[in-house]
Amino acid sequence: MTGLVLGLVVTGLLMSLVGSFAPVFAAEAYVVGVALAQPPPVALAVAGAVVVGQALGKAAVLASVRAAPRWPWVRGARAAAEHGRRGSGAWGVALAARTAAWTGPVRRWTTEAMGRPSAPFVVVLSGAVGLPPLLAVTLCAGPSRMRLGSFVAACVAGRGVRMGALAVAPGALAGAAWLPW
């Protein structure tokens, strides 16, 4: 493996790991860019690294969501929200209320879906299609009884389909350019 390929793979892994916590990097754009500039095996290696990074990151998010109720500052924020206290935490309570109102329909649907035996299929669908966003599904999976291993496997399956398709799409489209339609 050359230095360039190794650099592309490591960059994809790290970028997708960081992007799992906050969507600041477009992993899809990175995979397509690599697929346009490099041969298919390199693009597939980068897509695989991106899938691994995203699965690790989402697993960490899921573990954090499950552990958060035990954190002292989260308990304090919940108590303040329940008692309707004003003061230094008022902006947080207002932000939480606005966010809940805005994300309510997606959260209700996703939470309901995550409580069913078909929950891994919701994760696969989210990972492959992007609707609902995988980060939202991860947050809703926190209170569910879905096992971490099942979540990670479903995440890898869905993101693998998406990133694999993006890695081979430029080559497939370039090879099909002769088609008359």
Of the listed ranges 12-16, 39-43, 56-60, 132-136, the least confidently predicted one is 132-136
Of the listed ranges 11-15, 27-31, 71-75, 168-172, the least confidently predicted one is 71-75
Residue 42: pLDDT over 70: yes
Please spell the DSSP secondary structure of 110-165, one letter per residue.
HHHHHTSTTHHHHHHHHHHH-SS-HHHHHHHHTTS---HHHHHHHHHHHHHHHHHH
Question: CB-based burial of residue 49 (10 Å sphere; 0-12 exposed, 13-18 middle, 19+ buried)?
Answer: buried
pLDDT at 28: 94
C-alpha radius of gyration, the chain, whole number: 19
Residues 150, 152: Cα–Cα separation, whole Å: 6
Domain assignments of the chain as residue spans, ordered by start = 3-175
pTM of the model: 0.79
